[in-house]
């Protein structure tokens, strides 16, 4: 080979595979750290500054002038990973109790993530030096004395490869959902302890023996007695590694954190607090759990004045819905309460927003609406299934699209969702399903068109932005009846950029919309500029809420007839006091959308121009703080 020839492809691949290999443990640690933090801080606050600390940790390792021997590196990494499970749980628990999402995550990243990245990046720097000639990096055999720009180049490699593996590889492996963060950390710790065993220099615990004194005169030509050096043969090191592995397999659990196993095999009752967890599983969208705020042991005592007897569905650090239980189950005279799959009576929804969505059945400005003959409904985003259950109980053929199987399973098992029927449940991405349905209809398939759509994808302080674009609504309209009614739940301040974008895109797509809030009372226009529309506080009775938090529901239709609603009837209530209150007062809850309409047509969300995600990220910290007011800290810390 001539000197001008580059490395052979297989050699280049092998060397880059080597780089990826040495970065894999670090990337797995980043993945485990982020996954462990999201249930306590939510996705937005967790990731807002996470990358900065990964870069900082790698940069500190790059500029660190002290190069340790490999066996010392392995030992330090093993010890750090042994501490990591509890550090990754207790540090955010303590910082989150200050109820400041941004400051809390900064403290947690600095105390837990930064040291882990720093200590694990140090041996990676040496590995990158060895692979420099084949990866295109500047060749530096002594990176400690290399120019800063060369060391910074290693930082960039570490960041992009480790972050890429954490986000795009480890997160796609479904089997990891059944592996806890403690198991990930401690499994890696075991590997590094074994590496330490195989690389630690030989040593002896015994003192060297002195040579016996001989009688007579010393001879000058007598060689000095040399003590044999202690040796660690491969066999002895392997034996030590096997012995350690056996001990570690039994003892590693003492270093695990108190997070429940996922999936949870049986219900867990907190030993000191009134909370019970029925189900907890790592799923497609993150941690999905069902828990209940238990009633106090003594009725009439001070604890009875506090919030209790509520079952809720949790997605990481957000609540998707819930119902009242125990003594707070109440139904209209002559009616029976809804029951879960175990026969436990369930009360009204703790969120009145879901009940407000049921007013879609009251639309009387369309041909089917006038006759009350709604036939086919589509629900995008299930939650606990409050409005979905109502549609099914009213005899409407209902199709469900829910991206997370664990959410559907929870709704069926713990929240009384009836069986929608064969072929009526699609556990996948809504955008893909709607696109395929449109293609099937346009290809001539005899599929029914939907009369009603309930679009409720709010979670964690925001919505999936790709389900709010003009292109999505266009595809959706192709599978709807020409006079269908679409219900959309959105969170945000009324007179804000995000709400303006959503409302104007809906008007551009459907032609007409009306908006309603679920505040028990008036919502004057002067609050449109300040009040945050958030599902978190649409709670009734004694459930804690923030005074300036409301929910808004949009009703839209492509029909040219002005959208109107009939009055509610007793048959609409399904035995629910909440339905009776919310649905009978619909005409007092309308929001004036004229304050956010842009007649110039400049505020339209498209696939190529969609700032909705970044706009919602700004409110992620606020949503987190609201959630912390809804439930006490110990609820969020038990999962």
CATH at residue 576: 3.40.50.150
Whether the pLDDT of residue 524 is over 60: the answer is no
Average pLDDT over residues 38-55: 95
The predicted structure's pLDDT at residue 499: 87
Whether the pLDDT of residue 548 is over 50: the answer is no
Pick from 130, 165, 194: which residue ends a domain?
194
Give yes or no for a contact between 260 and 273, defined as CB atoms under 8 angstroms apart: no
Q: Which of 20-24, 274-278, 360-364 has the lowest mean pLDDT?
A: 20-24
Give yes or no for a contact between 500 and 468, defined as CB atoms under 8 angstroms apart: no
288 Cβ contact list (under 8 Å, min separation 6): 279, 280, 281, 282, 313, 314, 315, 404, 406, 407, 410
Residues 562-579 have pLDDT tens digits of 999 999 999 999 999 999
Residue 357 is encoded by which pair of tokens?
Answer: 């969505």
- The percent of residues in the chain predicted with pLDDT above 70, rounded, is 83
The predicted structure's pLDDT at residue 30: 98
| 229 band by pLDDT with thresholds 50, 70 and 90 | low
The predicted structure's pLDDT at residue 391: 98
Average pLDDT over residues 89-101: 98
Domain-embedded: residue 229? no
Token match 């009576």: residue?
345
| 396 band by pLDDT with thresholds 50, 70 and 90 | very high
Measured at the alpha carbon of residue 78, what is the angle toward residues 77 and 80, in degrees to the nearest 5?
65
127 Cβ contact list (under 8 Å, min separation 6): 18, 19, 22
The residue segments making up the domain with residue 167 are 9-194
Give the pairing of strands 450-455 and 480-490: parallel
Structural domain count of the chain: 2
- The percent of residues in the chain predicted with pLDDT above 90, rounded, is 67
Whether the pLDDT of residue 59 is over 60: the answer is yes
What does residue 318 show for φ and ψ, rounded to 5 degrees?
A: -145, 155
Whether the pLDDT of residue 536 is over 50: the answer is no
Cα(304)–Cα(165) distance, rounded to whole angstroms?
49
Domain-embedded: residue 366? yes
Token match 């600095």: residue?
110
Whether the pLDDT of residue 201 is over 90: the answer is no
Pick from 132, 165, 194: which residue ends a domain?
194
Report field, pTM of the whole predicted structure over 0.75: yes
Residue 279 is encoded by which pair of tokens?
Answer: 């189900």
Average pLDDT over residues 368-376: 94
Domain-embedded: residue 570? yes
Domain-embedded: residue 476? yes
Average pLDDT over residues 71-90: 97
Whether the pLDDT of residue 613 is over 90: the answer is no
Give yes or no for a contact between 310 and 323, defined as CB atoms under 8 angstroms apart: yes
| 157 band by pLDDT with thresholds 50, 70 and 90 | confident
Residues 408-454 have pLDDT tens digits of 999 999 999 999 999 999 999 999 999 999 999 999 999 999 999 99
Distances (CA, A) of 205 to 89, 229, 230, 235: 39, 12, 9, 19
Pick from 194, 217, 252: which residue ends a domain?
194
The predicted structure's pLDDT at residue 114: 98
Cα(196)–Cα(185) distance, rounded to whole angstroms?
16
Q: For helices 70-96 and 9-41, what crossing angle results, to 10°?
A: 30
Residues 470-500 have pLDDT tens digits of 999 999 999 999 999 999 998 767 778 888 9
The predicted structure's pLDDT at residue 218: 57
Please name every residue paired with 280 in a beta bridge, in sequence order, or none if there are none. Answer: 289
| 73 band by pLDDT with thresholds 50, 70 and 90 | very high
Whether the pLDDT of residue 4 is over 60: the answer is no
| 535 band by pLDDT with thresholds 50, 70 and 90 | very low
Domain-embedded: residue 529? yes
Domain-embedded: residue 427? yes
Alpha helices in 415-452 (DSSP H): 430-442
Domain-embedded: residue 86? yes
The predicted structure's pLDDT at residue 211: 55
Average pLDDT over residues 100-117: 98
What does residue 402 show for φ and ψ, rounded to 5 degrees?
A: -140, 125
Residue 217 is encoded by which pair of tokens?
Answer: 């005169």
Selection from 483, 474, 454, 314 nearest residue 389 by Cα? 454
Whether the pLDDT of residue 357 is over 50: the answer is yes
| 85 band by pLDDT with thresholds 50, 70 and 90 | very high
Around 114, how many Cα atoms within 13 Å sit in the side-chain half-sphere?
13
The predicted structure's pLDDT at residue 231: 66
| 384 band by pLDDT with thresholds 50, 70 and 90 | very high
The predicted structure's pLDDT at residue 540: 32
The predicted structure's pLDDT at residue 137: 47
Domain-embedded: residue 4? no
Whether the pLDDT of residue 533 is over 50: the answer is no
């Amino acid at each position: 080979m001539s000197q001008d020839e580059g490395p052979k492809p297989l050699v280049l691949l092998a060397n880059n595979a080597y780089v990826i290999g040495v970065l894999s443990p670090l990337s797995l640690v980043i993945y485990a750290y982020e996954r462990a933090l999201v249930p306590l801080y939510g996705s937005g606050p967790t990731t807002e500054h996470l990358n900065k600390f990964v870069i900082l940790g790698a940069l500190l390792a790059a500029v660190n002038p002290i190069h340790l021997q490999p066996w010392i590196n392995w030992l330090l990494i093993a010890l750090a990973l042994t501490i990591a499970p509890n550090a990754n749980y207790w540090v955010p628990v303590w910082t989150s109790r200050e109820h400041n999402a941004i400051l809390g995550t900064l403290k947690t990243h600095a105390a837990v993530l930064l040291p882990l990245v720093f200590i694990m990046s140090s041996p990676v720097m040496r590995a990158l030096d060895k692979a420099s000639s084949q990866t295109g990096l500047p060749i530096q055999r002594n990176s400690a004395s290399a120019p800063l720009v060369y060391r910074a180049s290693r930082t960039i490699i570490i960041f992009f490869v480790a972050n890429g593996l954490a986000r795009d590889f480890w997160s796609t492996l479904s089997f990891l959902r059944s592996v806890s963060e403690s198991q990930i950390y401690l499994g890696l710790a075991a590997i590094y302890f074994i590496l330490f065993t195989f690389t630690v220099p030989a040593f002896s615990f015994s003192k060297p023996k002195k040579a016996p004194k001989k009688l007579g005169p010393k001879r000058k030509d007598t060689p000095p007695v040399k003590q044999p050096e202690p040796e660690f043969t491969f066999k002895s090191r392997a034996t030590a590694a096997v012995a350690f592995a056996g001990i570690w397999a039994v003892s590693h659990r003492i270093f695990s954190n108190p997070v429940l196993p996922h999936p949870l095999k049986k219900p867990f009752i907190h030993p000191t607090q009134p909370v019970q967890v029925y189900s907890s599983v790592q799923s497609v969208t993150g941690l999905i759990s069902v828990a209940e705020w238990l009633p106090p042991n003594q009725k009439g005592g001070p604890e009875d004045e506090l919030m209790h007897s509520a079952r809720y569905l949790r997605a990481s650090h957000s609540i998707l819905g819930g119902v009242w239980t125990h003594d707070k189950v109440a139904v209209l005279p002559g009616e029976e309460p809804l029951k879960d799959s175990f026969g436990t009576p369930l009360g009204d929804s703790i969120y009145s927003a879901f009940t407000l969505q049921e007013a879609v059945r009251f639309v009387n400005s369309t041909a089917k609406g006038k006759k009350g003959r709604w036939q086919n409904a589509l629900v995008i985003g299930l939650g606990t299934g409050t409005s979905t259950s109502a549609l099914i109980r009213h005899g409407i053929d209902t199709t469900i699209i829910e991206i997370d199987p664990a959410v559907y399973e929870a709704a069926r098992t713990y929240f009384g969702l009836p069986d929608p029927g064969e072929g009526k449940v699609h556990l996948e991405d809504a955008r893909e399903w709607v696109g395929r349905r449109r293609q099937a209809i346009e290809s001539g398939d005899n599929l029914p068109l939907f009369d009603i759509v309930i679009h409720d994808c709010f979670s964690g302080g925001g919505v999936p932005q790709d389900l709010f674009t003009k292109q999505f609504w266009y595809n959706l309209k192709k599978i709807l009846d020409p006079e269908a009614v679409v219900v959309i739940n959105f969170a945000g301040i009324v007179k804000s950029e995000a709400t303006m974008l959503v409302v104007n895109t809906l008007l551009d797509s459907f032609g007409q919309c009306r908006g309603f809030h679920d505040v028990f009372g008036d919502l004057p226009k002067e609050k449109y500029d300040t009040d945050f529309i958030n599902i978190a506080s649409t709670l009734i009775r004694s459930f804690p809420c923030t005074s300036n938090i409301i929910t808004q529901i949009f009703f839209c239709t492509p029909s040219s007839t002005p959208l109107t609603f009939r009055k509610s009837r007793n048959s609409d209530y399904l035995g629910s006091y909440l339905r009776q209150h919310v649905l009978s007062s619909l005409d007092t809850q309308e929001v004036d959308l004229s304050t956010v309409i842009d007649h110039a047509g400049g505020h339209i969300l498209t696939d190529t121009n969609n700032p909705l995600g970044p706009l919602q990220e700004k409110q992620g910290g606020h949503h987190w703080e609201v959630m912390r007011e809804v439930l006490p800290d110990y609820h969020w810390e038990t999962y």
